[in-house]
């Protein structure tokens, strides 16, 4: 059997956490009107029994009142091998996330996978450039921690909120010429 000539990367179907029913959202993490100093956890996603080694992670945050430039929204990705045993007190279901005394719960989640650095813009979807992340388990969920000093935009219709955490699989494919 001939060895492949090239290993290429393809872009798979995105997993999108955001408001249930909002455009493009595939997993719920209700981010509309998320208050400063509060965090939200998303519904768990099954990456499949065979999943990509690398994923691109994008963070979009829709501001309401303009935040102070340089403040952050921090996103964490948490993996589980069985969708039952979750670290950092996440549950695998969409809901508020208790940061814990001195943010101890959140610290157990490890460092953020991506942090959005805010600019001083109101009513704007801010987008952080993607980072590459490798999952450590088949099941994954997210925590979004708002440190903007402002709430996320409170849309009249929550599903209009443009805040999203997007996970794009980047599977390797081999190519023979």
Partner 1 sequence: MLTAEQDAVIYAAIHADPTIESFARVGNDSEVAARLNSQTVTVYRRISTGQVRLWSAVRGLRQKLEDLAINGTNGKQSMALVFCDAMQSGDSHFELLPEVLAMIDRMVTDGVFTADDKANLLARAAEQIGLAESLVGQAVTIDDIGRILYVDRPNGKIPKVI
Q: Under the criterion CB under 8 A, does residue 35 sit at the interface with partner 1?
A: yes
Residues in the chain: 177
Q: Which is nearer to partner 1, 32 or 74 (CB)?
A: 32
Q: Which of 11, 36 has the CB closer to partner 1? A: 36
The closest alpha carbon to 147, from 24, 59, 52, 82, belongs to 59
Closest contact distance (angstroms) between CB of 156 and partner 1 is: 9
Would you count residue 40 as binding partner 1 (CB under 8 A)?
yes
Q: How far is the CB of 93 from partner 1 (least distance, A)?
A: 12
Closest CA to 35 of 116, 118, 147, 120: 147
28 forms part of the interface with partner 1 (CB under 8 A)? no
- Grouping H, G, I as helix, E, B as strand and the rest as coil, residue 92 is coil
Rule CB under 8 A: say whether 124 interacts with partner 1: no
**How many angstroms separate the CA atoms of 26 and 161, rounded?**
14
Site string for partner 1, 60-89 (x = CB under 8 A): ----xx-xx--x------------------
Angle CA(106)–CA(21)–CA(23) in degrees, nearest 5? Answer: 95
Determine, following the binding rule CB under 8 A, whether residue 106 of this chain makes contact with partner 1.
no
Q: Which C-beta is closer to partner 1: that of 33 or that of 131?
A: 33
Should residue 100 be labelled a site residue for partner 1 when binding is judged by CB under 8 A? no
In 3D space, the residue among 133, 173, 120, 156 whose CA is nearest the CA of residue 32 turns out to be: 156
In the complex, least distance from residue 40 CB atom to partner 1, rounded to whole angstroms: 6
Q: Distance between CA 89 and CA 9 in Å, rounded? A: 34
Applying CB under 8 A, does 21 fall inside the site for partner 1?
A: no
C-alpha–C-alpha distance, residues 12 and 128, integer Å = 20
The residues that bridge with 165 in the sheet, in sequence order, are: 17, 59
Binding site for partner 1 (CB under 8 A): 30, 32-40, 64-65, 67-68, 71, 95-97, 147, 149-151, 154
């Amino acid at each position: 059997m001939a060895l492949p000539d090239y290993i290429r990367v393809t872009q798979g179907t995105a997993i999108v956490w955001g408001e249930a029913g909002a455009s493009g959202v595939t997993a719920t993490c209700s981010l509309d009107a998320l208050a400063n100093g509060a965090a939200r956890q998303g519904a768990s996603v099954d990456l499949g029994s065979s999943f990509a080694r690398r994923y691109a992670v994008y963070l979009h945050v829709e501001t309401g009142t303009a935040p102070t430039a340089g403040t952050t929204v921090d996103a964490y990705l948490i993996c589980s091998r069985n969708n039952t045993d979750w670290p950092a007190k996440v549950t695998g279901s969409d809901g508020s996330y208790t940061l814990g005394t001195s943010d101890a719960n959140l610290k157990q989640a490890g460092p953020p996978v991506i942090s959005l650095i805010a600019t001083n813009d109101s009513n704007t979807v801010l987008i952080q450039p993607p980072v590459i992340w490798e999952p450590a388990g088949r099941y994954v969920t997210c925590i979004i921690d708002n440190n903007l000093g402002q709430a996320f935009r409170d849309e009249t219709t929550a599903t209009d909120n443009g805040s999203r955490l997007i996970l794009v699989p980047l599977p390797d494919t081999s190519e023979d010429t």
